[in-house]
């Protein structure tokens, strides 16, 4: 390991800039002792308490989160795939690569809830006690997830439901249009950071109440006249007579809301109005001196990326992209400069861009390799330093060179499957399709022949299933012919998926009902 404080080098392919000397919890292993698995090396860095911010991770956040130290994150925002059955198509980048996006939650609400809750539990462990968690959903599932979130964080740690009006109109003639998203804000046991944001008062409010002018109108603006007395008698200074006005004789008996010496200072500064007829004094509040009104839980002032809005110029073509202004509001409210912001479903990187612009450190995770490419390009355009990108595979040769565990992880993630809980003696099953729970077998060999197909049929028989997937670099003609025969004669459907197709981000398996 280098003795310089400028860089901490741990194995040849992990280099993490450090702004200040880092004290390691224990001496790191020698390079010759470092594990062969690249992701395990990153995990060791985490255990040594080395900063892993400004990192991008390609993979399922359920496994990628293991590489991030517990209690190291100040703010988590996630905008996971919504519980819907819409299909999205878009083009990525200058190469006009075409991909399809699908919210794959056809197994029902309970499957979706379990999927998301499992990941949020793991995210919670990464959050500091003083940290904040934001979950962004829509009407389909938000109230079901509110119950799950209360179980994970505790009901008393629920802070807000935020309503973001994402569109101004909806052509729904059969009911009230769904024009908003829901965001839940939770603390994590300690006192969370919360920085109040002030927004301008509505023009209608100003026009209604700020109607009076005086000699200060050019510098202070118009004013309105507010009460300067409060209900009830007081025996102290606030109950004393001031400039001939006795608050005890106003109405049923009142008191001054300021001490007499403060009233006098305000009067000499032209800030107290007394009518010519000697009416009750009023405090003048000036329009130009208003600091603003705190932002509440109804957000109507952050436009979406649609239409002709200013924020539409931010669009990178991602179907569910959120405006930077939305994330800036969240990040400003619940973190401070230098804090770490995590987005475990980072998509096209809006959260990370907003964090970078606001001088926060960031961590991004996404299961899609194409999404990580877009995020990388987006961040580099604004000069963001990217410490390391993990889990990217560029060609088949790199797949061949992967440790078998990494290859298996890559393959199961690439078809958006679930990993097998049995790491040893997996009985020929490396994962399961996400919704239908059909077996997935991964083979890191050049070409799969008929014997593998025969063995996999035995796996299906043991599982009492007639559907499954095999992922490999290629398949012999004999294997393909046997798969066709099994479907034709025995109604056993085995999907053969090549790594080349997955490298193109095709997810060829269809619903194996």
Q: Pick the closest to residue 103 from 124, 122, 82, 120 (CA basis).
A: 82
CA distance 119 to 68: 13
Closest CA to 326 of 164, 167, 124, 98: 164
Cα distances (Å, whole numbers) of residue 79 to 191, 320, 334, 457: 24, 9, 16, 39
**What one-character-per-residue DSSP string does 80-116 give?**
PPPS---EEEEEETTTTEEEEEE---TT-HHHHHHHH
pLDDT of residue 107: 61
- 128 vs 71: CA distance, rounded Å: 4
* pLDDT on residue 50: 55
Q: Distance (Å, rounded) from C-alpha 447 to C-alpha 450?
A: 10
How far apart CA 297 and CA 180 sit, in angstroms, is 12
Domains and CATH numbers, the chain: 52-194+295-390 (3.40.50.150), 203-289 (no CATH), 396-503 (3.40.1340)
Residue (of 331, 312, 333) closest to 323 by Cα position? 312
Q: What is the pLDDT of residue 84?
A: 56
pLDDT number for residue 3: 37
What whole-number distance in Å separates Cα of residue 410 and Cα of residue 392?
A: 9
**Entry pTM:** 0.68
Residue 361's SS3 state is strand
Q: In what order do the strands lie in the sheet with 388-390?
A: 298-299, 158-165, 180-187, 127-137, 73-78, 340-343, 361-366, 55-58, 388-390
Averages of pLDDT over runs of 10 residues in the chain (513 residues) are 32 32 31 40 50 87 94 97 50 29 57 92 98 95 96 98 85 83 98 96 95 97 96 94 94 93 97 91 96 95 71 71 96 98 95 98 89 90 93 86 81 83 65 87 94 96 94 96 96 94 71 44
Using CA atoms, how far apart are residues 3 and 110, in angstroms rounded to an integer?
52
Neighbours of 248 (CB within 10 A): 15
The number of beta carbons lying within 10 Å of the beta carbon of residue 242 is 21
Pairing of strands 439-442, 467-472: parallel
Longest dimension (CA), the chain: 107
Of the candidates 117, 125, 53, which has an alpha carbon nearest to the alpha carbon of residue 80?
A: 117
- Residue 497 is classified by DSSP as E
Please say whether the beta carbons of 186 and 153 come within 8 A: yes
Which residue do the tokens 């507010």 mark? 226
Give the helix/strand (H/E) hosting 333: helix 324-334
Contacts of 341 (CB under 8 A, 6+ apart): 73, 74, 75, 76, 77, 331, 335, 351, 352, 355, 360, 361, 362, 363
């Amino acid at each position: 390991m280098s003795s310089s404080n400028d860089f901490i080098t741990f194995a040849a392919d992990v280099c993490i800039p450090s702004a200040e000397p880092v004290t390691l919890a224990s001496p790191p292993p020698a390079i010759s002792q470092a594990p062969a698995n690249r992701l395990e090396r990153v995990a060791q860095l985490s255990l040594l308490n080395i900063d892993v911010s400004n990192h991008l991770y390609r993979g399922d956040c359920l496994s990628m989160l293991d590489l991030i130290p517990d209690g190291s994150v100040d703010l988590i925002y996630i905008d996971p795939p919504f519980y819907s059955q819409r299909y999205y198509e878009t083009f990525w980048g200058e190469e006009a690569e075409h991909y399809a996006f699908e919210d794959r939650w056809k197994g029902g609400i309970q499957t979706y809830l379990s999927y998301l809750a499992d990941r949020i539990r793991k995210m919670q462990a990464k959050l500091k006690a003083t940290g904040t968690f934001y979950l962004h959903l829509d009407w389909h599932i938000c109230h079901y997830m509110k119950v799950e979130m209360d179980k994970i964080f505790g009901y008393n740690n629920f802070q807000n439901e935020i309503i973001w009006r994402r569109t101004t109109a909806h052509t729904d003639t059969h009911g009230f249009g769904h024009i908003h998203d829901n965001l839940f804000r939770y603390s994590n046991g300690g006192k969370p950071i919360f920085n109040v944001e002030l927004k301008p008062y509505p023009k209608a409010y100003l026009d209604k109440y700020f109607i009076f002018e005086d000699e200060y109108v050019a510098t202070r603006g118009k004013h309105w006249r507010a009460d300067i007395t409060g209900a009830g008698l007081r025996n102290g200074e606030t109950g004393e007579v001031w400039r001939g006005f006795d608050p005890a004789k106003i109405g049923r008996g009142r008191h001054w809301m300021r001490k007499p010496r403060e009233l006098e200072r305000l009067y000499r500064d032209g800030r107290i109005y007394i009518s010519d007829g000697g009416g009750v004094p009023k405090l003048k509040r000036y329009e130009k001196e208003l600091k603003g009104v705190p932002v509440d839980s109804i957000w109507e002032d952050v436009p979406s990326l649609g239409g002709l809005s200013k924020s539409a110029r931010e669009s990178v073509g991602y179907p569910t992209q959120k405006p930077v202004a939305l994330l800036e509001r969240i990040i400003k409210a619940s973190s401070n400069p230098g804090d770490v912001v995590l987005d475990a479903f980072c998509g096209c990187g809006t959260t990370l861009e907003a964090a970078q612009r606001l001088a926060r450190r960031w961590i991004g995770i996404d299961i899609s390799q194409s999404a990580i490419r877009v995020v990388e390009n987006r961040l580099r355009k604004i000069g963001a330093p990217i410490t390391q990108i993990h889990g990217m595979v560029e060609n088949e040769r790199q797949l061949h060179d992967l440790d078998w565990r990494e290859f298996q992880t890559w393959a199961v993630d690439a078809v958006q499957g679930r990993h097998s809980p049995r790491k040893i003696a997996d009985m020929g099953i490396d994962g399961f399709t996400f919704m239908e729970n059909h077996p997935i077998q991964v083979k890191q060999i050049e070409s799969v022949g008929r014997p593998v197909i025969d063995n996999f049929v035995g796996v299906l028989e043991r599982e009492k299933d007639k559907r499954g997937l095999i992922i490999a670099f290629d398949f012999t003609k004999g294997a393909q012919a046997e798969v066709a025969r099994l479907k034709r004669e025995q109604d056993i459907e085995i999907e053969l998926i090549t790594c080349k197709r997955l490298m193109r981000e095709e997810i060829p398996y269809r619903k194996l009902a």
